Amino acid sequence: MTAPPRDRRKSNQEGDKVVFDDLMMQGEAPGLATYGPRFEELIDALQAGLTVAAEEERPTRLGIQPVIARSVVERAGYVEAFPHLLGAVHTYEGDEKRWRSLVGEMEAGRDWSEEHRMSDVVVLPAVCYQVYPHLEDVELVEPCTVDITGYCYRHERSHEPGRMRSFRMREFVRVGEPESVTEWRGRWLERARDWLSSLELEVAVEPATDPFFGGAARLMKPLQESEQLKWELVAEVEGGTRQAIASSNYHKDHFGGTFRIGAGGGIAHSACSAFGLERIALAVINRHGESPENWPLGVGKAVAR
């Protein structure tokens, strides 16, 4: 027996204006949410604060789409290393006649997705992946620094606060000679810690590894640990739940070699400093409460309210 539909009617106390939660409304599946006006104002303020933190470098600002060519993530090794996190885009490519014949079968319970096939795009797993293909076969005369924001997708079906399947990431990316990249990465790790601390968050800087899958974990995790290629900045996002709200990552020549990017007569290295905007917002709310007027003055200045 089919369950009756849930009654979604709510009392509207503001005339014709629909009333939404100020902060967050959970979605219909784990790891999904819709954010209210106060939450979005905080996101905007955090974005403004990060822009100020990066202004002395004057990075090139790029706008991106939430999908990326499947060939890019295949070449970059993401499919091999993180198949459990990747979201592929499937679509129907048959004709209308065939689809009409399937409608009745779907009403009888057939899975409509059986007729869909993988497309040439996947959902973007990390915003920096949109940068490297545009530098392919380029010999960099000076380091390239990029400022980029976008939605990422990781297939994590979790109810844990802050562990969203779709989330916004602000990344600053550096590509160039190894010395330039490592110096930049160290500077941004300190800058990220100082900026998050200015929000009066209790932040711990911890060595970390990516969630590699299968054999890749046995190979790559020891390398990341021994060479300290990944650092995470961890804070409490909800009572007792601590998560990485930012990270600093050194890729060495992985992307430079894959996309044939040159610098200083050799293969370019790359690094990124990444900020999870929803998680930072949750950490601020957890620390200081839901009302901006109750936040310490220093927090307001830091997020450029």
Query: Helix or strand or coil: residue 261?
Result: coil
pLDDT of residue 172: 98
Which two three-digit tokens encode residue 218?
Answer: 């046995």
Give the whole-angstrom CA distance, residue 219 versus residue 105.
Answer: 46
Residue 133 burial class via C-beta count within 10 angstroms: exposed 0-12, middle 13-18, buried 19 and up = middle
Give the whole-angstrom CA distance, residue 231 versus residue 31.
Answer: 24
pLDDT of residue 210: 82
pLDDT of residue 126: 95
Cβ within 8 Å of residue 225, ≥6 positions away? 207, 209
State CA 51 to chain mean position distance. 17
User: What one-character-per-residue DSSP string does 146-195 give?
Assistant: EEEEEEEE------STT--SEEEEEEEEEEE-HHHHHHHHHHHHHHHHHH
Domain with CATH 3.30.930.10 in the chain: 24-87+125-302
Q: Per-residue pLDDT for the chain (305 aa), expressed as one digit of tens each?
A: 334 444 444 555 555 566 678 888 888 888 889 999 889 989 999 999 999 999 999 999 999 999 999 999 999 999 998 999 999 999 988 888 888 878 777 777 778 788 889 999 999 999 999 999 999 999 999 999 999 999 999 998 777 888 899 999 999 999 999 999 999 999 999 999 999 999 999 999 999 988 877 776 777 778 778 888 999 999 999 998 999 999 999 999 999 999 999 999 999 999 999 999 999 999 999 999 988 887 776 676 666 54
Give the whole-angstrom CA distance, residue 283 versus residue 231.
Answer: 18
pLDDT of residue 8: 46
Give the whole-angstrom CA distance, residue 37 versus residue 27.
Answer: 16
Q: How many CB atoms lie within 10 A of CB 107?
A: 8
- CATH number, span 24-87+125-302: 3.30.930.10
pLDDT of residue 261: 98
Residue 295 is classified by DSSP as S
Which of 171, 126, 130, 125 minimizes the C-alpha distance to 149? 171
Contact status, residue 171 vs residue 47, Cβ threshold 8 Å: no
Contact status, residue 200 vs residue 288, Cβ threshold 8 Å: yes
pTM across the whole model: 0.88
pLDDT of residue 98: 80
Give the whole-angstrom CA distance, residue 235 versus residue 291.
Answer: 20
